[in-house]
Amino acid sequence: MEMPSKMEDQIARYEQMRGQLQMIMEQKYHMSNQMKEMERALEELADVDEETPVYRSVGSLLIKAPSPKELEAKLTEEKETIEVRLKSMEKQEQQLTEKVKDLEQELQSAMQGM
């Protein structure tokens, strides 16, 4: 029995959406890890006095920061950016998950009707 081209298109779209969902979940996982690292660094910086030299990792280099307060401000700004991106990714993930479930139900109904 040959599958209708509409169903083949839906299956291709379903697989594409599943791939997108997987990619978003992986990006969200990595971003969550970045957020945790940022929070740990900010916690450590809170205990450092202003005279203590601090360094920032840039690629494979360690660069001396002008002061702990300036580094804390920079890290806080980066953390806020990551929070916004994470919220956006969570919203994308929810929307795509719903679309995948809907399409999955459509496909199951169509296959039962064959």
- What phi and psi values does residue 53 have, to the nearest 5 degrees? -70, 135
Long-range CB contact pairs, 102-110, < 8 A, 24+: 103/10, 103/13, 103/14, 103/17, 104/14, 106/10, 107/7, 107/10, 107/11, 107/14, 110/7, 110/10
**pTM flag (> 0.75):** yes
Under DSSP, the state recorded for 66 is S
Torsion, CA 64, CA 67, CA 73, CA 76, rounded to 10: 50
Domains in the chain: how many in total? 1
Orientation of helix 68-112 relative to helix 5-46, angle to 10°: 160
Residues 6+ apart with CB under 8 A from 98: none
- pLDDT beyond 80 at 62: yes
- Domain limits at 36? 5-112
pLDDT of residue 6: 83
Indicate which CATH number applies to the domain containing 81: 1.10.287.370
Residue length of the chain: 114
- Across all residues in the chain, what is the average pLDDT? 92
What would the mean pLDDT of 50-62 be, rounded to a whole number? 92
Tell whether the model's pLDDT for residue 113 goes beyond 80.
no
Q: Hunting for tokens 């890890």 — which residue is that?
A: 33
